[in-house]
Structure 1
Amino acid sequence: MEEIFYIADRASIAQAEELIREFGMLAVDEAAARSRHYRELGNAIRFCEWRQMERFLSLLALDMAVGTVH
Structure 2
Amino acid sequence: MVTFIASRRALDDACQLIDHFGADAGMEAAVRAEGARDKGNVLRFCHWRQIERMIVTLASDEPVGTIH
Give the TM-score taking structure 1 as reference length: 0.84
Measure the CA separation in 2 of the matches of 1:22 and 1:55: 17
- Structure-2 residue corresponding to 1:31: 29
- Percent sequence identity over matched residues? 46
1:40 CA displacement: 0.8
The structural deviation recorded for 1:21 is 0.7
How many residue pairs match? The answer is 68
> What TM-score comes out, normalization by structure 2 length?
0.86
- Out of 62, 65, 68, the residue aligned to residue 67 of structure 1 is 65
Q: Is the 8 A contact 1:4 1:55 kept in 2?
A: no
> Is the Cα–Cα contact under 8 Å of residues 35 and 47 in structure 1 kept in the other structure?
yes
List structure 1 runs of 4+ shifted beyond 2 angstroms: 3-6
Q: For residue 45 of structure 1, what is the aligned residue in structure 2?
A: 43
Structure 1 residue runs without a partner (length 5+): none
Structure 2 unaligned spans of 5+: none
Computed over aligned residues only, the root mean square deviation of the Cα atoms, in angstroms, reads: 1.5
2: CA distance between counterparts of 1:67 and 1:7? 14
Cα deviation for residue 4 of structure 1 reads 4.4
